[in-house]
Structure 1
Amino acid sequence: MSGRVMPCSPEEVGALFLFEKLTAEQLGRLCSEGQVELFDPGPVYAEGDPATCFYVMIEGTVVLSRRVGADDVEVNRTSQSGVYSGAMQAYLSDGEPRRYLNSMRVTEPTRFFVLSSDSFAAFMQEYFPMAVHLLEGLFYGSQTTQRAVGQRERLLALGSLSAGLTHELNNPAAAAVRATSSLRDRVAHMRQKLGVIASGPYHRDALKSLVDIQERTAERVAKSPALSPLEASDREDELADWLDDHGIQGGWQIAPTFVQGGLDVDWLEQVAAAVDAEMLQAAVGWLNYTVETELLMTEIEDSTTRISHLVGAAKQYSQLDRAPYQVVDVHELLDSTLLMLSGKMGSRVKVVKDYDRSLPRIPAYPAELNQVWTNLIDNAVSAINSAGGDGTLTVRTAQVHDRLLVEFRDTGPGVPAEIRGRIFDPFFTTKPVGEGTGLGLDISWRIVVNKHHGDLKVESVPGDTRFQVLLPLTAADPDPEPVQEPS
Structure 2
Amino acid sequence: MSGQPVPCSPQEIASLFLFEKLSPEQRGRLCAEGRVERFEPGPVYAEGEPATCFYVMIEGTVVLSRRVGNDDVEVTRTSQRGVYAGAMQAYIGDRVRQVYNNSMRVTEPTRFFVLPADTFASIMQEWFPMAVHLLEGLFFGSKSMQATIGQRERLLALGSLSAGLTHELNNPAAAAVRATAALRERVVKMRHKLAVITEGSFSRDALAGLIEIQERTAERVAKAPALTPLEATDREDALTGWLEDHGIDHGWQLAPTFVQGGLDVDWLEQVAAAVDEEILPGAVGWLNYTVETELLMDEIGDSTTRISHLVEAAKQYSQLDRAPYQVADVHELLDSTLLMLSGKIGQRIKVVKQYDRTLPRIPAYPAELNQVWTNLIDNAVDAINGAGGEGTLTVRTARHDDRLLVEFRDSGPGVPPEIRDRIFDPFFTTKPVGRGTGLGLDISWRIVVNKHRGTLRVESVPGDTRFQVLLPLTVTDADDIPLTSEEPA
* TM superposition score category, shorter chain reference: 0.7 to 0.9
Q: CA deviation at 1:427?
A: 1.9
Rounded Cα–Cα distance in structure 2 between residues aligned with 1:399 and 1:93: 39
How does 1:146-225 map onto structure 2 within 5 Å? 146-225=146-225
3-state SS of paired residue (1:404) = strand
3-state SS of paired residue (2:435) = coil
**Gaps in structure 2 of 5+ consecutive residues:** none
User: What's 1:346 paired with?
Assistant: 346
Rounded Cα–Cα distance in structure 1 between residues aligned with 2:149 and 2:73: 29
The change in CA–CA distance for 1:59 and 1:179 in structure 2 (over 3 A counts) is same
3-state SS of paired residue (1:262) = coil
Q: CA deviation at 1:474?
A: 3.3
How does 1:64-463 map onto structure 2 within 5 Å? 73=72, 80=79, 82-91=82-91, 98-102=98-102, 111-117=111-117, 119-121=119-121, 123-124=123-124, 135-136=135-136, 138-463=138-463
Rounded Cα–Cα distance in structure 1 between residues aligned with 2:328 and 2:127: 54
Q: Is the 8 A contact 1:179 1:297 kept in 2?
A: yes
Q: Is the 8 A contact 2:65 2:72 kept in 1?
A: yes
Rounded Cα–Cα distance in structure 2 between residues aligned with 1:292 and 1:107: 80
**Gaps in structure 1 of 5+ consecutive residues:** none
The change in CA–CA distance for 1:451 and 1:147 in structure 2 (over 3 A counts) is closer
Q: Deviations over 1:427-448 (max 9, x none)?
A: 2222222322222111111121
Q: Deviations over 1:11-41 (max 9, x none)?
A: 2212334334555455334334433356799
3-state SS of paired residue (1:115) = strand
Q: CA deviation at 1:216?
A: 0.7
Rounded Cα–Cα distance in structure 1 between residues aligned with 2:383 and 2:71: 32
Rounded Cα–Cα distance in structure 2 between residues aligned with 1:130 and 1:414: 49
Q: Match for 1:350: what amino acid? A: K
Q: CA deviation at 1:64?
A: 5.9
Q: Is the 8 A contact 2:324 2:485 kept in 1?
A: no
Q: Is the 8 A contact 1:446 1:483 kept in 2?
A: no
Rounded Cα–Cα distance in structure 2 between residues aligned with 1:229 and 1:50: 67
RMSD value, Cα:
3.2
3-state SS of paired residue (2:341) = helix
Higher relative contact order (CA 8 A, sep 6+): 1
Q: Is the 8 A contact 2:325 2:483 kept in 1?
A: no
Rounded Cα–Cα distance in structure 2 between residues aligned with 1:238 and 1:72: 66
Q: Is the 8 A contact 1:68 1:454 kept in 2?
A: no
Rounded Cα–Cα distance in structure 2 between residues aligned with 1:423 and 1:277: 77
How many residue pairs match? The answer is 486
Q: Deviations over 1:393-426 (max 9, x none)?
A: 1212233333322211222232222221111112
The change in CA–CA distance for 1:279 and 1:74 in structure 2 (over 3 A counts) is closer
Rounded Cα–Cα distance in structure 2 between residues aligned with 1:231 and 1:222: 19
The change in CA–CA distance for 1:396 and 1:221 in structure 2 (over 3 A counts) is same
User: What's 2:471 paired with?
Assistant: 471
Rounded Cα–Cα distance in structure 1 between residues aligned with 2:380 and 2:486: 22
Q: CA deviation at 1:207?
A: 0.6
Q: Match for 2:432: what amino acid? A: P
Rounded Cα–Cα distance in structure 1 between residues aligned with 2:145 and 2:327: 34
Q: CA deviation at 1:202?
A: 1.0
Q: Deviations over 1:74-126 (max 9, x none)?
A: 75797845442222123459965644434667899865423344553565567
Q: Is the 8 A contact 1:452 1:476 kept in 2?
A: no
Q: CA deviation at 1:61?
A: 7.3
Q: Is the 8 A contact 1:334 1:370 kept in 2?
A: yes
Given the two structures, how large is their TM-score scaled by the length of structure 1?
0.88
User: What's 1:480 paired with?
Assistant: 482
